[in-house]
């Protein structure tokens, strides 16, 4: 994985107490990230606490979750199917209209009509736009009060979003965490680039839906990247400033490390009142209309 540090962006450093803040990145592909998960020491707090008896990490042992990172989990993939079946029927399309030659239409094409051509009318039709690639960046961190079933529900909705957007435009997907270790103001960003052409659904779904991946594996890498190395200092929101700051500046912060993020959709860490958890279908529809198109019934 590629590890490097950068000074925090000006919008962050201008905040009181953050004048010297920096961003510590760890970015890799699926194989590299899985290898780093496996290398987290067994006595590390994040790995040790990720057990079958710990509901906060999803009730799955670290090694069992790691096996699913390698092999995938079809049951996790199925958690997005219900969302998919409801929203696929909406037939999301782009907003672009083009004028085409047709046998029927609202306006005549005089030259074609004089030439006796059968396609002598002009008709407006919707067509897919040549949309630019979209980088979807998902932060798996969450408030400690969020329960594992809530994260599973959220992950299913996000998986459905990735599947649906992949059908209408080129998509790249990064999964990880942005946090700050207690006692510091620097932010640590650990992200994995998933396969999306085609989407590696079984592995992607497990990583998005199961709490053990965030609270065991990614948190463990965040501790190590941040220099804790087994130190059980608490994790805080990036720059120790709450979730709003990184949500406001996520694109500027993360696009420096994610080359595909000329246009990005940042899905921030989960917290109480998150629409992605409380109203996942409404959230999905909003995200699809914003980044993929709008329903045919509403586009007319």
3-state secondary structure the chain: CEEEEEECCHHHHCCCCCCCCEEEEEEEEHHHHHHHHHHCCCCCHHHHCCCCCCHHHCCCCHHHHHHHHHHCCHHHHHCCHHHHHHHHCCCEECCCEEEEEECCCCEECHHHHHCCCCCCEEEEEECCCCCCCEEEEEECCECCCCCHHHHHHHHHHHHHHHHHHHCCCCEEEEEEEEEEECCCCCEEEEEEEECECCECHHHHHHHHHCHHHHHHHHHHHHHHHCCCCCCCCCEECHHHCCHHHHHHHHHHHHCCCCCCCCCEEEECCECCCCHHHHCHHHHHHHHHHHHCCEEHHHHC
Residues 52 and 101 in one domain: no
Residues 105 and 232 in one domain: no
The per-residue pLDDT for 95 is: 44
Residues 184 and 226 in one domain: yes
Residues 115 and 243 in one domain: no
Residues 112 and 210 in one domain: no
Residues 237 and 259 in one domain: yes
Q: What is the pTM of this model?
A: 0.84
The per-residue pLDDT for 48 is: 93
Residues 246 and 158 in one domain: yes
Residues 41 and 186 in one domain: yes
Residues 161 and 192 in one domain: yes
Q: Which regions of the chain are under pLDDT 50?
A: 93-97, 128, 295-300
Question: How many domains would you assign to the chain?
Answer: 2
The per-residue pLDDT for 230 is: 52
Residues 118 and 242 in one domain: no
Residues 116 and 136 in one domain: no
- Full residue range of the structural domain in which residue 140 is found: 2-90+130-299
Residues 160 and 107 in one domain: no
The per-residue pLDDT for 294 is: 53
């Amino acid at each position: 994985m590629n590890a490097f540090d950068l000074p925090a962006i000006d919008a962050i450093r201008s905040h009181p107490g953050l004048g010297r803040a920096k961003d510590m990145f760890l970015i890799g592909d699926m194989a590299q990230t899985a290898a780093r998960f496996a290398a987290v020491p067994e006595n590390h707090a994040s790995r040790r606490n990720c057990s079958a008896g710990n509901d906060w990490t999803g009730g799955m042992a670290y090694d069992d979750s790691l096996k699913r990172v390698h092999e995938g989990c079809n049951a996790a993939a199925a958690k997005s199917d219900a969302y998919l079946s409801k929203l696929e029927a909406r037939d999301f399309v782009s907003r672009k209209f083009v004028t085409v030659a047709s046998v029927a239409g609202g306006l005549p094409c005089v030259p074609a009509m004089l030439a006796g051509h059968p396609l002598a009318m002009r008709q407006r039709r919707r067509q897919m736009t040549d949309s630019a690639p979209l980088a979807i960046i998902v932060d798996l961190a969450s408030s400690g009060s969020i329960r594992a079933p809530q994260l599973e529900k959220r992950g299913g909705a996000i998986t459905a979003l990735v599947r649906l957007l992949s059908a209408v435009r080129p998509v790249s997907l990064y999964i990880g965490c942005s946090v700050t270790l207690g006692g510091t103001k620097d932010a640590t960003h650990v992200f994995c680039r998933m396969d999306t052409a085609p989407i590696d659904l079984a592995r992607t779904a497990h990583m998005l839906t199961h709490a053990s991946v965030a609270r065991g594996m990614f948190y463990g890498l965040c501790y190590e990247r941040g220099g804790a190395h087994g130190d059980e200092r608490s994790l805080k929101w990036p720059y120790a400033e709450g979730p709003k700051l990184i949500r406001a500046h996520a694109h500027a912060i993360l696009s420096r490390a994610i080359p595909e993020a000329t246009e990005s959709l940042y899905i921030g860490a989960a917290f109480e009142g998150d629409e992605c958890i409380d109203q996942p279908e409404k959230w999905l529809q909003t995200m699809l209309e914003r980044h993929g198109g709008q329903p045919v019934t509403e586009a007319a």
